[in-house]
Amino acid sequence: MRGGILLLYFLISLLLFPWIVISVKGSGEVTVKPLFEIVSYFISPKKITLGEEVSISLTIKNNDNIRKTFYIELAVQDPDENWQPLSPQAIALEPKAIGTIIFYWTVSHSAIPGYYEVKIAIKTSEPPVIETKEIDNAFEVVIKGKEETVNLAVPYIHQYYDTPDDFDGRDACGATSTVMVLLYYRKLSPWPCECSKPFKHISEFGNYISRIYTYNGYTFDTMTPDASGKPAYGAYGFIHNNRYHLADSQRIKDYLYKHGINSESPLWVYGRPPEEINKIIVDALVSGKPVIASIEICSTAPEGKRACITEGHVIVIKGFSNAGRYYIINDPYGKYALGGYDGMDVQYSIFEKFVYKEKEWLVKIKWIVIPTEPPG
């Protein structure tokens, strides 16, 4: 009777679990082993940078009593949860034998910095998948020389609260951001104005945004109506001089040049992969160059239903942390362009969403202007 029960157990187990090995000891005790076991795995190095190679070795044991071929598939997941499969490999093992397979993965120059996950799937002809194993934080990708935080000393000006009371600066993000960059290069002397919003204070450089002034023989007296329709001059008049009073990237470049700062041609980056944009910006910041950027902040709902805090707003990117995962921003209209007096050294990410009013929002960069070396 006992032998019949053991036989029945054996047959049911083979039917339900063909990836296990069953043995019966002389005492009648039944032992169950998996068809294979992962003896060890090893990942080296644990920290790598762009263009370098990580090796992932896997040692397995064939617990079966016959020769088996095992097919191993491996994939790497980046911090944005994108999977990158590697070419599968196979290993044939004699009964009870142990073997090792090594995978190699090269970090592309557009790779996202951060911790990566490894997923392993081991198969035979039957069943289709025997086992999968996930290794969290398997290794870290860093950018050499850029692991530390960079935060350039760009002074802060609020476009509405740090400008003259008779000027409505709600549209002056481009002018204000550009003047902040001029202050970083020490091109302007203090020209204080008294401001009453949100409390009474002195703004050392606010007059440059909307008043007429002369620099190096050029007078900034172009008139452009402010957000209330009143005439305004200075940086705002020059940079926003168009039908819709929007910041013009080419006029930002010209404005910088008239103050002795060369810059690269405005670069349209909207729609490019975030990794590609990030490399351009991080390289500039590491070289000590702040980046003037036009951004949009929109919800991540489908295109036809999305809402936007702003579809066009200019900021200064003055630093980064975590190799560019987060940017340190001077936002002239407050954090997330919401109008608050809290826009200095705020953190934005083009990789991660943030929550505001129970919606998820994402910052996307449209164009950038990067100063180069000042002209000789």
Per residue, the 3-state secondary structure of the chain, as one string, reads: CHHHHHHHHHHHHHHHCCCEEEEECCCCCEEEEECEEEEEEEEECCEEECCCEEEEEEEEEECCCCCEEEEEEEEEECCCCCEEECCCEEEEECCCCEEEEEEEEECCCCCCCEEEEEEEEEECCCCCCCEEEEEEEEEEEECCCCCCCEECCCCCCCCCCCCCCCCCHHHCHHHHHHHHHHHHCCCCCCCCEEECCCCCEEECCCHHHHCCEEECCEEECCCEECCCCCEECHHHHHHCCCCCCCCCHHHHHHHHHHCCCCECCCEECCCCCHHHHHHHHHHHHHCCCCEEEEEEEEECCCHHHCCEEEEEEEEEEEEEEHHHCEEEEECCCCHHHCCCCCCCCEEECCCCCEEECCEEEEEEEEEEECECCCCC
| pTM for the predicted model, two decimal places | 0.64
Q: Across-strand partners of 86?
A: none
Fill in the amino acid letter for 66. Answer: I
Reported CATH class of domain 36-142 = mainly beta
The pLDDT score that the predictor gives to residue 124 is 79
Cβ contacts of 352 within 8 Å, gap of 6 or more: 325
In this predicted structure, what is the pLDDT of residue 100?
83
Evaluate whether 101 touches 72 at the Cβ level (below 8 Å): yes
Asked if CATH classification 3.30.390 holds for the domain at 150-369, the reply, yes or no, is: no
pLDDT at residue number 44: 77
Pairing of strands 359-369, 267-268: antiparallel
Residue type, 177: S
Please report the pLDDT score of residue 4 as a whole number: 47
pLDDT of residue 129: 55
Distance between CA atoms of 229 and 323, rounded to whole angstroms?
43
Per-residue pLDDT of the chain (376 residues; tens, 9 = 90+): 444 444 444 333 433 344 444 444 444 444 445 777 888 887 878 888 777 788 888 888 888 888 888 889 999 998 888 889 999 999 999 999 988 888 988 888 777 778 899 998 888 765 555 677 788 777 777 765 555 678 898 999 999 999 999 999 999 999 999 999 999 999 999 999 999 999 999 999 999 999 999 999 999 999 999 999 999 999 999 999 988 899 999 999 999 999 999 998 999 999 999 989 998 999 899 888 999 999 999 987 665 577 898 889 999 999 998 777 889 999 999 999 999 999 999 999 998 888 888 788 999 999 999 998 654 4
Intrachain domains 36-142 and 150-369 with the same fold: no
Domain residue ranges in the chain: 36-142, 150-369
Looking at residue 147, its pLDDT comes to 52
Sign of the torsion formed by the C-alpha atoms of 290, 291, 295 and 297? negative
pLDDT, residue 159, reads: 97
Q: What pLDDT does residue 364 have? A: 94
Say if residues 19 and 60 touch (Cβ distance below 8 Å).
no
Both tokens assigned to 10: 């054996």
At 141 the pLDDT is 78
